Amino acid sequence: MQQQGAFILVCRGQALGNNGSNMEKLSEANATEIERLLEEVWPEAIEYPKEWRNARMIDRNKIVDEMKSGLHYFGIRANGKIVGLYKAGITGDVIMGEHQSVHPDYRRLGLAEAMYEQFIKFAKEIGCKKVLVNVLPSQVASTKIVKRLGFVKIKEYEQIPGMLVHLYELSL
């Protein structure tokens, strides 16, 4: 359902928060809130190596720098706060989604799938031909989501030593 350009998320038949959860393009004004979410999410993401988790907990200055360099941040709000986000980088007609983060209190509600769907929609809107995402082999739910959305595994590689990932592609 669309409402004033925002993506309204309905999880398991119920809108989250007082007015639903809105997927929105985040801006530099949201950098402190993004930083807080990353500090809540990544220490708990024990399926990733510690060095990787630590590198994901970036501060507001790094977030602003990434936005200025062309990375796009999108987030979902519930009860007025950002509870999920991802960022997207564009190279030519290819878009890469990364850094998907969902607050521990909001997992298993469909936020990740909503973010993937919105990511694909954004890619189409800006004329991308391919969508790429990395998924850890152990992330069964994410693997099921990307396959259901039409992504195909094209590569398996170590993103950093000791961290195997599957690269999925969706042709638009």
pLDDT in tens, 93-119: 999 998 888 998 888 888 889 899 999
Domain count along the chain: 1
**What torsion, rounded to 10 degrees, do the Cα atoms 75, 134, 168, 137 define?**
-120
pLDDT surpassing 50 at residue 20: no
Token pair of 36, please? 């807080």
Highest mean pLDDT pick, 13-17, 49-53, 147-151: 147-151
The pLDDT of residue 128 is 96
Q: Which residue type occupies 48? A: Y
pLDDT surpassing 60 at residue 13: no
Taking Cα atoms as reference points, which of 26, 10, 47 lies closest to residue 139?
47
Find the domain containing 97 and state its range.
Answer: 2-171
Angle between helices 60-68 and 31-41 (to 10 degrees): 120
CATH code where residue 30 lies: 3.40.630.30
Residue 100 — φ and ψ, nearest 5°?
-60, 130
